[in-house]
Amino acid sequence: MTPEQAIQRLVFHTMPEPGGFLDMLRPYHGLKQDVLVDVMDALKASASIIRAATLPRELVSALWCISYLGKMWSLAPDGMIRGNNLINDADLAMLEKFFKRFDWAVRVLLGDGDSIDSAFTDPGPASK
């Protein structure tokens, strides 16, 4: 996947399209591991663009939507998924782990001191 294709994949995951990340959460019918993997693969493939001095607006929007809306809908106690008791403990734990990895990777990629590879390693005990 090229970096440009990766950006389009990340944008796709913010749309109400079958197979998309936010679509998987609304309405919630369980997690799909392949969707979580695709989001992380697209993030990794777009790393060189995220590391650039300027970022495309659509990329910033997609990263923000995946993280912010995803967490508000699924992890927040009063969000639509947890607030309506739609998620089991195993799925909740999987999403928490996903968001820790995703947010860590975005933070590292937006920084200027760490390598791209370090963005996709375990974020460490401070974030567990």
Please give the pLDDT value at position 126: 55
Cα–Cα distance measured from residue 48 to residue 90, given in angstroms and rounded to the nearest whole number: 33
Please give the pLDDT value at position 37: 97
Please give the pLDDT value at position 128: 45
Query: In 46-125, which ranges are continuous DSSP H helix?
Result: 47-50, 57-64, 70-74, 80-83, 89-110, 116-119
Low-confidence stretches of the chain (pLDDT < 70) are 113, 124-128
Buried b (16+ CB within 10 A) or exposed e, 62-95: bbebbeebbbebbeeeebebbeeebbeeeeeeeb
Dump pLDDT digits (tens) for 24-58.
Answer: 999 998 999 999 999 999 999 999 999 999 999 99
Distances (CA, A) of 92 to 50, 59, 71, 107, 112: 28, 26, 10, 22, 32
Q: How many CB atoms lie within 10 A of CB 123?
A: 19
Please give the pLDDT value at position 5: 97
